[in-house]
Structure 1
Amino acid sequence: MFKSIALPVILLGVFATAQADEGQWQPHQLPQLKSELKRIGITIPAEKLNDLTRHPMSAIVSLGGCSASFVSPDGLVVTNHHCAYGSIQRNATPEKNYIVNGFLAKTRAEELPGGPNALVYVTEKVENVTDRVLKGLSPAMSGRERHETVEGRVKQLIAECESDKAYRCSVPSFHRGLEYYRIKQLMIKDVRVVYAPPDMVGNYGGDVDNFEWPRQTGDFAFLRAYVGKDGRPADPSPDNVPYKSKDFLVVSAEGLKNGDPILLAGYPGRTSRYKLPSEIRFARDANFPLRVTEMQADLATIATATKGNAQYDVRYASVVKSINNVLKKTQGLLDGFARKDIAAIKDVQDAEFRAWFNQPANQKGASKTLLADLDAVIAADMALSEEEFGWAVATNSDLLKSARTLYRLALEQQKPDAQRESGYQERDLSFIKARLTRLEQSFVVSVDEARFIGSLQRYGKLAAKIHPQGLDPLLPATDAVGALYKQTQLGDTAQRLGWIGKDAASFKASDDAFIKLAVKLHDTALSLENRRKEIDGNLERVIPQYMSAVIAWKKSQGKPVYPDANSTLRVTYGTVAPYSPRDGLVKGPFSTVEGIVEKHTGADPFNAPAPLLDAIKGKRYGVFKDAALGTVPVNFLSSADTTGGNSGSAVMNKRGELIGLNFDSTYESITKDWYFDSAITRAIHVDIRYMLWVMKEVDHADSLLKEMTIKYPKK
């Protein structure tokens, strides 16, 4: 399967013919793209976009998994409805179902607590620390030694940065270990729900319409960031005051038309543009089909276990939504791989790069065994990933995950803080507590038990090579799982949190069934983890050498190179654009409110609220009516380069004014995480005019409309 003669393509995005809209660019790279930005009509100077302390970049924030932006000086944040879904669900009950009915705080005193997982990160500083991370690493180190040395240096850099506890810092790698940047973010811990439309606005079409076009989804919500009276981040308290954001985006209701330029800024999660052809074939033929089957089975188990119980439905709403989103994306990748042989495309691109690389003058600093070394470690990486998948299936229980986290914390707390595993240092305690507390809103004993039994049954049917070494004898029999849930107290939040701070001996002496299981599984889990470190260290040793060669190749052509997305602040750009998913079919770039009426069935997921339907049928469009469309646009398409994590990203016009929110992409675009096809790759955005129209005509969110600075179209 793996041939050493096959040259891996490290930067797929740069092997294809350059496209103006491809690339998730680091802000400091934008001056290199000045001519491209000017060509499509962006009037903001590239040097201004490079500066995180200036408008508009200073208004762009992260929610730790989604993107958002400030839209008022009083900490008002706009993001997607699905990004605020967990906080909405946290406050919902069958009696006050804010998911179904929506929520609007008429006053700031009525704003709801977002919960311990709701955070706002404001990026204040980004600095290149590559030398401090990589200097003096010995080629003689094993993969694990190298990985742990780098990890230790990263921890030191983070500790220095977090001397002020108001900040959360990170040191992610770019180009998979070629460069490291230290990112300093203000972490705001008191975040409240201000406004969310009903689910049948914010999630109209549900999973049926997810990744489809045209869509008519008002995927927006508002949060507010609060701080202590001294202006610094503080734990949630009624005494806190709205955060005075240094900058905020002006909202433009002037609208867009086909061909207009857009800028998009946010925190894209992960892309795989630089995977090897063999890795694509592995995902396509082995890994992704298994994942699809597993998610479908887990969802079916949850549906059966929650059927007929409204409280259970509410508790698992966010879990189901998350799994469904990943499922449809993974299935979309498989469909995309079937539609276009991306591995074959990469094979061709590989040959183009090899012709350049095989010239002796272009191999400066590269090992003579580089290709064979990378092929070998990639093969090992994929083999281990199969075992890691098996582990995830076999341990699919929220109580077991909680017990394992608690036991690992006890073991790590025996070490000096700097030597603890990342994720278990003192800086991580609040996040661990938040996850363990959050469980009370998304957990039911009988549902978790059903999921665990189902997962164990499916694990038993997986191929032997997918079973982690030494795991099988340690797992409970499916007919013994019920007894585990009867012999544990971890289902109670107070009992769960009470284990934080206990020593390892207390865990080993415990008669709690899930604590005992966690202790029993620990050595096997640690073995998997250490094997992962060895492989990652070897990858981090080999791949940067390729990255250097590829970047040199592109530099010789006068072209910049963008790194894969890694949840750090990026900027992309493009134009409002239609597309053709197949021969003879062209889909326009706008959907309208009339489509809501056309799709309305009165049943989920096409059950539009009566006030919304009345406003559409009454044509109460006001200033939000598009002159060309003759109605209110709901969603629009652009050619911007996006991925997961870009949800909630600000979509701005040529002047940097907010004209939409990113929330999805077309089904045909899902493979863009692996390969950017400019002809069919389209991102889907909420048109700001629909958002404002719903706020004004349907939900009467007048105080928020007054709080924002809105530019209305000229009469």
Structure 2
Amino acid sequence: MKKAIFYLLACVLLPVAASADEGMWLVSTFRDVIYPQMKKEGLKLKPGEIYNEESPALCNAIVAVDGGMGTGSVISDKGLVITNHHVAYGDIHSLSTPAKNYLEEGFWALEQKDELPLKGKTVTFLRQVRDVTDEAQAIRDSLEKANSLGIFGTRKVYGILERKYGGDTPFEVECASMWKGKKYLLFYYETYKDVRLVGAPPVKIGAFGGEQDNWGWPQHKGDFALYRVYGDAKGRPAAYSENNVPITPRKVLNVSTSGIHDGDYAMVIGFPGRTNRYMSSQAVREKEHVTNPVVIKARRDRLDIMLRHMEADPDVRLMYSDKYFNISNYADYAKWENICLRRYDVIGIRAAEEARLAAWIDADPARRAEYGDLLANLKKGYEARAEAVREKCYYQETWIRPSDVMMTANRLGTLVDRMQRDGIASVQDGDKNFAGVKSNTRRMMKDFDLATDKEVLTRMMESFTDNVPREMWGEQLPQLYDRFKGNVPALVDYAFENTCCTSYEKLCAWFAQPRTAEEIL
């Protein structure tokens, strides 16, 4: 999800082309509060130089990579984009083979004809922002009145607005709410789908320092990679073609060669997707003491097993490099987040803010009547749900995500649910109902090692059964656990020997004939 282009654009920089009543709250907030503080800190740009729909501005040189999974900067008038090495890691891995291991050796296209196309890669430009708060809130009120809001109410509101405004524009239109529905904005995006890898350093430079350096500071890595964006002859988005040409962007960032100095002004602009910076002290405490410890331990266990197999076999190393990187990235994020939450006493800062909020509420009888129990109820609610949240986190980290074999089994479970719901008697290879399971398994098993997967699942199942109450295990696991007298390695051996999910070939062979829901289960 692309969402907004950082706080400056998503929340306060709506100005220039907006009508008199469109987004005035955002404009005035920026004009009266944010911009003076930015100038005080050393900003020399004017608002229209940061965001502008009528003339080139800084926002035109900032792009979303893969729908907001990463941020890039346009640095040449021939569509060259620089981003982080970790953003491009999966692309570099997908292009690598034992014969041409670009991940280990790096890649550089000396000419444009040498640049490597990337299937499914996208680069997106923000073209316009519109404030639709009043309209969105009216739609929400109407849905609530008709009792049709439901649990996906916010998505319904988005859909109505996206359909209304997306039909007569060449851009993709996406609605997003700010501050839990206080504001609703429409974002107009232009997405290019012919993106090619231009250059990337070897992983020992791009990810120098490994997990020790990731999310810590200062870093010492060459964390960059280069893409080029192509369009048709008129510069419009187009599917990959040898006839496409590099786009001419509206704005290009100048790369300074003068270095940085103490006191230089700095700000961040990009596509963060969402923020949790407004969490209550109770929510921060839950993150630090309930979920992050589970994430850190479970992912560290997975990483240790994977690394041992990767170091023992070069083929496994290449297969699992991208998986290892992705797992370590968030494991390290959770570790450093906890370090910083304690270092800067974030819970204490939030608690002090809440004390001031409580005093403000208590100073007015009307506020006291409406909000007097707010903070106490927050505390009570978070304390009541702590164990359930911890158990859910163990379920997600040790049962749902770690094993490719288990992922395939889960997809078959979803298929069985659909068969039973829709009255499908049987499925087999070649049926449209089986196509999703087949294609996902083929893609996943391309980078798969049976011994690694089995050891990971064994360790994760031990962690799950050791930490989650038995009554939360479901129906089948307790029976198998008792059958093998708590011997998890033996249980996993049995499961692997009696399933078609351990390889793409076995899966297809087993479904060569029709299978009923009962057989699949």
Q: TM-score range by the shorter chain?
A: 0.7 to 0.9
How many residue pairs were aligned? 469
Q: Does 2:407 correspond to 1:401?
A: yes
| 1:42 corresponds to | 43
Change (3 A) 1:232 1:23: closer
One-letter amino acid matched to 1:156: I
Amino acid at match of 1:299: L
Residue aligning to 2:280: 276
1:481 offset after TM fit, Å?
3.8
Structure 2 CA distance, aligned partners of 1:144 and 1:475? 43
1:27 aligns with 2:31: no
Q: Secondary structure at the match of 1:265?
A: coil
| Cα distance, 1:137–1:462 mapped onto 2, change above 3 Å | farther
Range moving further from structure 2, 323-332 or 353-362? 353-362
- Give the Cα separation in 1 of the matches to 2:181 and 2:438: 31
Q: How far apart, CA to CA, are the structure 1 residues paired with 2:97 and 2:325?
A: 17
Aligned mates of 2:147, 2:298 — CA distance in 1 = 32
1:488 counterpart = 2:492: no
3-state SS in 1 of match to 2:87: coil
Structure 2 vs 1, CA of residues 411 and 292 (structure 1 numbering), >3 Å: closer, same or farther? same
Contact kept in structure 2, 1:306 and 1:313, CA below 8 Å? yes
The answer on 1:101 being equivalent to 2:87 is no
> Which residue pairs with 1:309 in the alignment?
313
Measure how far apart 1:226 and its partner are.
2.5
Describe the shift of the 1:23–1:96 C-alpha distance in structure 2 as closer, same or farther (beyond 3 A): same
1-structure distance, mates of 2:126, 2:62: 8
**Letter matched to residue 258 of structure 2:** E
Could you say which residue in structure 1 is the equivalent of 2:178? 174
More helix by share: 2
Contact 2:362 2:368 in 1 (8 A): no
Q: State the partner residue of 1:706.
A: none
User: Which residue does the alignment assign to 2:240?
Assistant: 236
Distance in 2 separating the partners of 1:154 and 1:409: 29
Amino acid corresponding to residue 60 of structure 1 in structure 2: I
Out of 247-256 and 143-152, give the one that drifted further: 143-152
Cα-to-partner distance string for 1:422-459 (whole Å, 9 max, x where unaligned): xxxxxxxxx99997775355433333333222211211
Query: What amino acid sits opposite 2:127 in the alignment?
Result: E
Please list, as runs of the form range in 1=range in 2, the aligned pairs for 1:337-416 lying within 5 A after superposition: 337-360=341-364, 363=367, 366=370, 370-371=374-375, 374-375=378-379, 378=382, 382-392=386-396, 393-395=398-400, 396-401=402-407, 404=410
Task: Specify the alignment match of 1:423 in structure 2.
Answer: none
For the structure 1 residues 22 and 357, does the alpha-carbon distance in structure 2 shift closer, same or farther, using more than 3 Å as the test? farther
Deviation string for 1:367-413 (max 9, x for gaps)? 67655665565456655433431321112323443564587589789
- 3-state SS of 2:125 partner: strand
Contact 1:440–1:493 (8 Å) recurs in 2:
no
Whichever residue aligns with residue 170 of structure 1, its letter is E
- 2:247 and 2:471 map into 1 onto residues whose CA distance is 49
Give the secondary structure class of the aligned counterpart of 1:151. Answer: helix
Q: Per the alignment, in what secondary structure is the counterpart of residue 185 of structure 1?
A: strand
Deviations 1:275-315 (A, max 9, x none): 22222222333322222111111111212333321121112
Question: Residues 579-590 of structure 1 correspond to what in structure 2 (within 5 A)?
Answer: none
1:332 matched residue in structure 2: 336
**Partner residue in 2 for 1:296:** 300
Identity %: 25
1:182 CA drift (Å): 2.5
How far residue 74 of structure 1 moved from its aligned partner, in angstroms, is 2.5
What does residue 55 of structure 1 align with? 57
SS at match of 2:305: helix
Equivalent position amino acid for 1:241 in 2: V
* CA distance, structure 2, for counterparts of residue 170 and residue 219 of structure 1: 30
Deviations 1:24-64 (A, max 9, x none): 96533543422222222222102332325632111111112
Question: Do the aligned residues in 1 keep the contact of 2:84 with 2:223 (CA within 8 Å)?
Answer: yes
Offset, 1:126:
2.2
Aligned to 2:222, the other structure's residue is in SS state: coil
Q: Determine if the alignment matches structure 1 residue 218 to structure 2 residue 222.
A: yes
Asked if 2 retains the 8 angstrom alpha-carbon contact of 1:91 and 1:98, the reply is yes
Distance 1:466 1:339 in 2: 38
Letter in 2 for 1:488: C
Matched residue SS, 2:81: strand
- TM-score by length of structure 2 reads 0.76
Distance 1:76 1:413 in 2: 48
SS of the residue 1:171 aligns to: strand
SS in 2 for 1:264: coil
Amino acid at match of 1:398: D
1: CA distance, partners of 2:188 / 2:420: 28
* 1:173 Cα deviation from its structure 2 partner: 2.5
Work out the CA distance in 2 between the residues paired with 1:332 and 1:441. 32
In structure 1, what is the Cα distance between the partners aligned to 2:69 and 2:245?
25
Are the counterparts in 1 of residues 361 and 372 from structure 2 also a CA contact under 8 Å?
no
1:256 counterpart residue number: 260
Mapped contact 1:59–1:70 kept (Cα < 8 A) = yes
Residue 427 of structure 2 aligns with which residue? Answer: none
CA distance, structure 2, for counterparts of residue 436 and residue 237 of structure 1: 29
Q: How does 1:506-585 map to 2 (within 5 A)?
A: 509=517, 516=520
Residue 479 of structure 1 is matched in structure 2 by 490
- Alignment partner of 1:119 out of 122, 126, 129: 122
Contact 2:197–2:227 (8 Å) recurs in 1: yes
What corresponds to 2:4 in structure 1? none
Look up the SS of the partner of 2:151 in the other structure. Answer: helix
One of 457, 462, 468 as aligned partner of 1:452: 457
Taking a change above 3 Å as real, the CA distance of residues 58 and 491 of structure 1, as seen in their structure-2 partners, is farther
Q: How far apart, in 2, do the equivalents of 1:310 and 1:386 lie?
A: 37
RMSD of aligned alpha carbons:
4.1
Between the aligned partners of 1:440 and 1:253, the Cα distance in structure 2 is 45
CA distance in 2, matches of 1:235, 1:474: 52
Letter in 2 for 1:314: L
Distance 1:200 1:173 in 2: 40
1:73 — aligned with what? 77
How far, CA to CA, are the matches of 1:144 and 1:356 in structure 2? Answer: 36
Task: Identify the residue that residue 132 of structure 2 maps to in structure 1.
Answer: 129
- 8 Å CA contact 1:391, 1:468 repeated in 2: no
8 Å Cα contact 2:470/2:478 also seen in 1:
no
Contact kept? 2:197, 2:228, Cα under 8 Å: yes
Residues 159-191 of structure 1: CA distance to partner in whole angstroms, max 9, x if unpaired?
A: 445548975443333212332323232222222
Secondary structure of the corresponding residue to residue 467 of structure 2: coil
Offset of 1:270 from its aligned partner? Answer: 4.2
- State how far apart, in whole Å, the 2-side matches of 1:403 and 1:164 are: 43
Q: Cα distance 1:250–1:127, how it changes in 2: closer, same or farther (>3 A)? A: same
Q: What is the one-letter code of the residue matched to 1:77?
A: V
CA distance in 1, matches of 2:375, 2:211: 43
Q: Please list the CA deviations of residues 205-257 of structure 1 after superposition, one character each: whole Å capped at 9, or x if unmatched.
A: 22232344443321111011233456443443444333332322222223321
Compute the displacement of 1:319 (Å).
Answer: 1.7
